[in-house]
């Protein structure tokens, strides 16, 4: 029997239109992430997912947006990492 790969969800507070992509730390229960792209036609969501995947060292397909297409409050699923490891790779603990 194969082990089940780790996965977790992470609440994100996205700030689009920032000078650069950046993990800013915790904002309550959510991770505050500044995104360079403007919130136009889903572009900021795409850049957010790409930035998180790159920062976590995962393929793009391992990071998916579960909720918050048009909101700054988002929920992302991260496949391949447990929550503790995801936080560590993001520099959050």
Q: Residues 6 or more apart from 74 whose CB is under 8 A from it? A: 11, 12, 13, 14, 45, 48, 65, 66, 67, 68
Tell how strand 30-34 and strand 73-79 pair up: unpaired
**CATH number for 73:** 3.30.1200.10
Has residue 58 been placed in a domain? yes
- As for how many domains the chain has, the answer is 1
Question: Is pTM, for the whole model, over 0.85?
Answer: yes
Rg of the chain on CA atoms, in Å: 13
Has residue 28 been placed in a domain? yes
Has residue 2 been placed in a domain? no
Has residue 1 been placed in a domain? no
Q: What is the pLDDT of residues 21-62, one digit of tens each?
A: 999 999 999 999 999 999 999 999 999 999 999 999 999 999
Has residue 59 been placed in a domain? yes
The domain containing residue 67 runs over which residues? 7-89
Question: How far does the chain reach from its first CA to its final CA, in angstroms?
Answer: 32
């Amino acid at each position: 029997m194969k082990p089940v790969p780790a996965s977790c969800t992470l609440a994100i507070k996205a700030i689009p239109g920032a000078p650069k992509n950046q993990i800013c730390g915790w904002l309550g229960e959510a991770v505050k992430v500044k995104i360079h792209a403007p919130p136009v036609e889903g572009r900021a969501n795409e850049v957010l997912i790409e930035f998180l995947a790159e920062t976590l060292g995962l393929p793009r397909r391992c990071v998916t947006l579960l909720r918050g297409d048009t909101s700054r409050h988002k929920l992302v699923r991260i496949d391949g990492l447990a929550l503790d490891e995801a936080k560590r790779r993001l520099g959050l603990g």
